[in-house]
Chains A and B, each alone.
Chain A
């Protein structure tokens, strides 16, 4: 067993454990911090695949985003409720928002990911490692897929303006 394989196995196990705890942690703060751990693990796997730009961006965006999530979680949720009450899994499965809706959507997501995974031709050797991975990300993003990129950013802008309008106090005008 090579050292790369050992590192890979350890990283994957840590990432999977963190992802599992995101769903099962009782406190929403813990869930968000485990989410940060999951993102960091995925970023480390990207580094192992020599996709260094993706890895760095993964860390940069998601670590910051997780902090925003945590802050909102503290401000918007009532901590006491989330603590001790754990329903039996049969009851949980019957209620739509805790049981079958998340189950169906996650199974659907898993199937989609599996299909796209099986359809993608993977390079069989490590020789194709990108010399400048930033360029390989930037050129498609700003040339061939420029329009979807712009559409996504306009969508985000609309969401941003919506959030500001919704949270603004009435007496501020």
Chain B
């Protein structure tokens, strides 16, 4: 029973963090966007520094009518938010938060992370198909093309790190960075590809074609409202944090850092990458779909393969 109790406590801890993280990031996104684009509202409204605005939002979302569009594919429509949230929560299983602090030190941590997060696409597609709405389906098809194309450079760019570290275990990859220094220096090309591809994987501007407000209303979650919509938002912000945390683990030394305990460094670095993501979102305009595909297949993909080749040559010559 002790194992079961520990498992339940871990799950509760992760769920609490997911909720808290969404709260903080929605507040953070409003503040950063407010300061970058001089939007007066988010800077001034809602309690001290606007921190209470999200609480009001939660109350509003919870009190909204539970509305199912007519002609919706009921099962797919209802399950879609759940299918989106589940992988977002599952990936916390392998994140190396501190030197000894990891929920489950899986042998294939990195592959587990990529494989579980690829299920996000299924949730998006189920939402787009189930809504019985042309904008939703268009958004889902776009998301399908986009996530499918950018997953390949995303995974290829991490393999250079795996080759240097000689392990797929995230804890060992972090430990290997005492020997090499942070992998961002030997793997700078890999880091750039990883970062661009992860912004695209997260469906955030400049790559937010799946939910482009000015073209598709809101893309695949056009028909969702209330808590069902909130689940998509929670999954999105959780993915933003976990993908940044993966970037920190692979390229920015994970929990390594002076003075402060390891998990503090891990959280600080992760939120720094999250901040850069938000910064990019409110600075750059959206790209066109053909530019998106060109960037993915004609630039990121060959560059990541060349990076792989270079890393392999270095390992052979060394």
Residues of A whose CB lies within 8 Å of any CB of B are: 29-30, 33, 36, 40, 43, 52-53, 56-60, 63-64, 66-68, 70-71, 74, 131-134
A53 touches B108 (CB 8 A): yes
17 A-B pairs, CB-CB below 8 angstroms? A29-B129, A33-B126, A56-B111, A56-B115, A57-B115, A59-B115, A59-B119, A60-B111, A60-B114, A63-B122, A64-B118, A64-B121, A67-B122, A67-B125, A74-B141, A131-B107, A134-B107
Residues of B within 8 A of A131 (CB): 107
Residue of B nearest to A60 (CB): B115
Complex CA gap A60/B119 in Å reads: 8
Residues of B whose CB lies within 8 Å of any CB of A are: 76, 106-108, 111-112, 114-116, 118-119, 121-122, 125-126, 129, 141, 144-145, 147-148, 151, 155, 168
A70 touches B148 (CB 8 A): no
Q: How many A-B residue pairs have CB under 8 A?
A: 63
Residues of B within 8 A of A64 (CB): 118, 121, 148, 151
Complex CA gap A29/B108 in Å reads: 31
A70 touches B125 (CB 8 A): yes
A67 touches B148 (CB 8 A): yes
Partner of A52, one of B108, B126, B145: B108
Q: Which of A36, A43, A60, A71 has the most CB of B within 10 A?
A: A60
Complex CA gap A60/B106 in Å reads: 16
B122 touches A66 (CB 8 A): yes
Residue of A nearest to B129 (CB): A29
Closest beta carbon of chain B to A70's beta carbon, Å: 6
Residues of B within 8 A of A57 (CB): 111, 115
Partner of B107, one of A40, A67, A70, A133: A133
A56 touches B112 (CB 8 A): yes
Majority SS at the chain B contact face: helix
A53 touches B125 (CB 8 A): no
Residues of A within 8 A of B129 (CB): 29
B111 touches A63 (CB 8 A): no
B115 touches A52 (CB 8 A): no
Q: Which of B76, B108, B141 has the most CB of A within 10 A?
A: B108
Residue of A nearest to B155 (CB): A60
Closest beta carbon of chain A to B290's beta carbon, Å: 14
B115 touches A53 (CB 8 A): no
Partner of B141, one of A33, A58, A66, A71: A71
Residues of A within 8 A of B115 (CB): 43, 56-60, 63
Residues of B within 8 A of A63 (CB): 115, 118-119, 121-122
Given contacts A60-B115, A63-B118, A67-B121, whether A134 and B148 have CB atoms under 8 Å apart is no
Residue of B nearest to A64 (CB): B118
Closest 10 CB pairs of A and B: A60-B115, A59-B115, A56-B111, A56-B115, A56-B112, A53-B108, A56-B108, A63-B118, A52-B108, A71-B144
Residues of B within 8 A of A133 (CB): 107-108
Q: Which of B107, B112, B118, B119 has the most CB of A within 10 A?
A: B107
Residue of A nearest to B130 (CB): A29
Closest beta carbon of chain A to B67's beta carbon, Å: 23
A134 touches B122 (CB 8 A): no
Complex CA gap A18/B111 in Å reads: 25
Residues of B within 8 A of A59 (CB): 115-116, 118-119
